[in-house]
Structure 1
Amino acid sequence: MKSHRYIVRGKKIVTVSPLGTIDNGALAVEDGKILAVGRWKELQKHYPSLPVIDYSNYVITPSLVDCHTHLLEFAPSSLYATSPENHFAVGKALLLSALSSGITALGEQICGHPFCDFSVCDYRSAVLDMPLDVSFATTSISIGFEKLAHYTAVTQSQAVEKKELINPDVVKLIAQASDYPGENIFINATPANFTADEVPRAGEIIYTLAELKKIVEIYHQSGKKIGTHVAGEVALRMALEAGVDVLHHAHGITDQLIKKVAEQQVRIVATPMGGTHLLPNSPEEILTLVNSNIAVSISTDAYLPPYQGTSWLPFQDQTLKGPDVLMLIANPAMQLLKQYGYDENEILAMLTAHPAEILGKEDYFGRLEQGLDANFLVAEGIPGLDIIEIEKIRNVFFRGEKVIDRIK
């Protein structure tokens, strides 16, 4: 739609805001922002001269937010063995695949790639012309090979010793370059997207509690929140005692630790597909987290081999899966929350408002409210709850512009 001002009419609008769900609702959009949200008849009367896009057979929701991905750094070479020369061309294609899946905002982790000597600035430049909002978490990473491999976003392709991971100058540089609390540190060595036999030390705890406290202090003194890759009771307890703000994965969390997370108002990014050495977040575990008033986001950690042996994942092999499976892997938990009486707005928040808050972008997107970006979906049902097929997302709008169109 080329007009700078228009109204979108829907069968219902799930706002993920205090407005809740509005049957026979409408959005007024002006210059890429939401001008008003309300009932169709009221907005039609208030803005009689605005052109109308009639989606009255469809549901309108905020577009999706995947706040934990690895699409630009590791995915291109993992999926296609691409060379550094065309690395970003492949990466941008993966971003467009995410967009086609209804995702208009991503949280990318930049860890340091052993074969591609790109800086954080290179990654930022690569996405400038993309119709998505991409935030970057700069990190240090430890990979669980037989000989642990350590990299950082600021030392790029150069492997470092463990002592550099706790060097205050290096930590400060990483903290200052980070947009949001992603996997800024890996308390456990990660399996990354390798098979178990390739990473026998996956899960090994890298830091002492004293080291963690110092790293957290540096982030907070820099005015930044810090997130961590963490799994297992011991490592989770250390993260909470050190004052980490966001737990990514939190696989193996206990009921006692869930209470502590709630008390400290720590956020959790759940990854039901995998990402650590332990069993990933089950629908029942996500329900327990939500019941404890913890703001849960669901993310793909893509591209990732799905954990084998779960009851909630339909995948039969360990082929790397991307952002296109976000609705699929979130569906079991979302359905369980619905069974327990949660409102559809509260449920959808796990894919929209909560991850937007993790990215620090809650004043820009994640809900359909006056003044926010007009990032929304036109779909055959509520994404992740009613529908899991990307083809049922008929239109994707980013800042008021239609960027994906499946309605012919």
Structure 2
Amino acid sequence: MLIINGVLHTMDGPVIECGFVHVEGDKITAVGPMSALPGGIDGPVVDAAGRHVYPGLVDAHCHLGLFGNAVGFESDDGNESTDPCTPHLRAIDAVNALDRCFEDARAGGVTCVLTGPGSANPIAGQFAALKTDGRWVDQMIVSAPVSMKFALGENPKTVYNDRKETPVTRMATAAIIRENLAKALEYMDKQNKADEDPDTDMPDFDAKLEALVPVLKGELPVHCHAHRADDIATAVRIAKEFGLHLVVVHGTEAYLISDLLAQEDIPVITGPCLTDRCKPELAGQSQENPVLLSRAGVKVAICTDHPETPIQYLPVCAAMAVRAGMDEEEALAAITINPAVIAGIADRVGSLTPGKDADIVLSTGHPLDWKSKVEQVYIGGVQVV
């Protein structure tokens, strides 16, 4: 397939005002201005004259497929709120690939999402990076697990206070995380000693601790739900104590400590922004949050937290950042290449780059113009819209 004459937002270089994208199979093979189009290319041609062409959008944090659309409890599989520590839970075991919101995602140009368990538990479980087209979740996986979900602040407090169980304070929430990380360190140490000494027995298998081992090795990032600045500080504190690879999720008050986060080189996934201040820890909500973070040098992604904000409104969330002062291409990066980099999947998605998956969107105008309409969407070179 050859897409020609489009305004290309490559996300790995400047905008190409009139360019082409060549696709072979499920990969992008060439991108450039029309003046550099090589001859002799075979295959169907898509004339994108007057259209904008950009990589499929990436939502860095949502719960797509885990909270069923218009179903209620029967399809509410995002929180195992019977145990505050559940690192062994896997998103892929709960995702309903046939939930209609996957169709909504594709219609909005969202071709890849990080989805997983919610924020009821201090340690909630394993997120997965999925393409948004498919009937069988195993065939949609880009990376699984892609991160481990932690949560601080109001959500665990509220859930377990209602149950009259621990944790009901921020101290207890942090203590549960520390306790289980310490147990996993001890478990890992016993495994290492058994590997080195044939006379030493392996520790009894523990699914929870086994799931935390790659977190402690730095192989699996921690995506930590934290809204208030003090909760963000706690996340950073724990990450330093255990050498974790930390990403802050939501970060509602992150702009208040943007310089500190920049010094620590900690990315922030901001959002959702299209919500009200529905609970106390959202009191400091500001549309300028991603703008101020980016200006401070923090790598920023923007998310919907679907279903908090419906997945198809991801570009609207980025457009809100533009209205607050962010450059258009920078805001587009926050829903394409930045989340891909933060998630460790930028070798597959996030930009129109030769060798990457042919996840491509064509729209009638700039992707962040609310009047633009998504006309065509390709995932792995196959048209899905």
TM-score, scaled to structure 2: 0.71
Equivalent in the alignment of 1:7: 2
Deviates more, 1:292-301 or 1:274-283: 274-283
Question: Given that residues 119 and 151 in structure 2 are in contact (C-alpha distance below 8 angstroms), is that contact kept between their aligned partners in structure 1?
Answer: no
Equivalent in the alignment of 1:251: 252
SS of match in other structure, 1:106: strand
Equivalent in the alignment of 1:288: 292
Question: Given that residues 318 and 332 in structure 2 are in contact (C-alpha distance below 8 angstroms), is that contact kept between their aligned partners in structure 1?
Answer: no
Distance apart, 1:111 and its partner CA? 4.8
**Match of residue 105, structure 1, among 90, 105, 112:** 112
Equivalent in the alignment of 2:316: 328
5 Å matches for 1:2-401?
A: 6-18=1-13, 20-43=14-37, 45-76=38-69, 79-81=70-72, 83=74, 92-111=99-118, 129=136, 133-134=140-141, 179-181=145-147, 184-190=149-155, 204-205=169-170, 206-208=172-174, 211-212=177-178, 215=181, 218=213, 219-221=215-217, 223-243=219-239, 245-253=246-254, 255=256, 257-271=257-271, 272-274=273-275, 277-279=281-283, 281-304=285-308, 321-338=309-326, 342=327, 344-383=328-367, 385-387=368-370, 392-401=373-382
Equivalent in the alignment of 2:196: none
Deviates more, 1:27-36 or 1:204-213: 204-213
**CA 1:99–1:88 in 2, change beyond 3 Å: closer, same or farther?**
same
Distance, in Å, in 1 between the alignment partners of 2:285 and 2:382 is: 35
Distance apart, 1:48 and its partner CA? 4.3
**CA 1:88–1:298 in 2, change beyond 3 Å: closer, same or farther?**
closer
One-letter identity of the residue aligned with 1:396: V
**CA 1:203–1:251 in 2, change beyond 3 Å: closer, same or farther?**
farther
Distance apart, 1:81 and its partner CA? 2.7
Distance, in Å, in 2 between the alignment partners of 1:397 and 1:360 is: 22
Distance, in Å, in 2 between the alignment partners of 1:381 and 1:234 is: 41
User: What are the ranges of 5 or more consecutive residues in structure 1 without an aligned counterpart?
Assistant: 1-5, 137-177, 305-320
Distance, in Å, in 1 between the alignment partners of 2:97 and 2:221 is: 31
Distance apart, 1:233 and its partner CA? 2.2
Task: Establish whether residue 402 from structure 1 lines up as the match of residue 383 from structure 2.
Answer: yes
Distance apart, 1:296 and its partner CA? 0.6
SS of match in other structure, 1:25: strand
Distance apart, 1:50 and its partner CA? 4.2
Deviation track 1:250-292 (CA, whole Å, cap 9, x = no partner) reads 112353x211211111110001235973147523221110101
Distance, in Å, in 1 between the alignment partners of 2:351 and 2:176 is: 39
**CA 1:31–1:292 in 2, change beyond 3 Å: closer, same or farther?**
same
Distance apart, 1:112 and its partner CA? 10
Equivalent in the alignment of 1:307: none
Distance, in Å, in 2 between the alignment partners of 1:203 and 1:40 is: 61
Distance, in Å, in 2 between the alignment partners of 1:331 and 1:378 is: 17
User: What are the ranges of 5 or more consecutive residues in structure 2 without an aligned counterpart?
Assistant: 78-93, 186-212
One-letter identity of the residue aligned with 2:146: Y
**CA 1:234–1:82 in 2, change beyond 3 Å: closer, same or farther?**
closer
SS of match in other structure, 1:300: coil
**CA 1:398–1:302 in 2, change beyond 3 Å: closer, same or farther?**
same
Aligned residues: 320
SS of match in other structure, 1:386: coil
Question: Given that residues 6 and 47 in structure 2 are in contact (C-alpha distance below 8 angstroms), is that contact kept between their aligned partners in structure 1?
Answer: no
